[in-house]
Amino acid sequence: MNIILFEASELKEHIPLDDPRIAHMTKVLGLKEGDGFTAGIIGGKRGKAVLETMYGDGWSIQFHPAEDTP
């Protein structure tokens, strides 16, 4: 199972297109705009995220934390 980790502050901005996590999601996992994936906040909750919109400089990602994280 893939889980992509982010710092909470990163999700307030676009994740750059050259970020290795974006490359993994788009090239290896084949994700595209609107696709969901398992994600987590470093030191925080895990949950589901969506690649929302691709801009010229990166992706916006919407994170939805799970109610109960072990």
Band (pLDDT 50/70/90 cuts) for residue 69 is: low
Is 90 exceeded by the pLDDT of residue 2?
Answer: no
Residue 31 lies in a domain: yes
pLDDT per residue as tens digits for the range 18-61: 999 999 999 999 999 999 999 999 999 999 999 999 999 999 99
pTM, to two decimals = 0.86
Residue 53 lies in a domain: yes
Q: How many domains does the chain have?
A: 1
Report the CATH number at residue 13.
2.40.240.20
Output the DSSP codes for 11-59: GGSPEETT-HHHHIIIIIS---TT-EEEEEETTS-EEEEEEEEE-SSEE
Residue 46 lies in a domain: yes
Residue 70 lies in a domain: no
- Give me the domain span that covers residue 29: 4-65
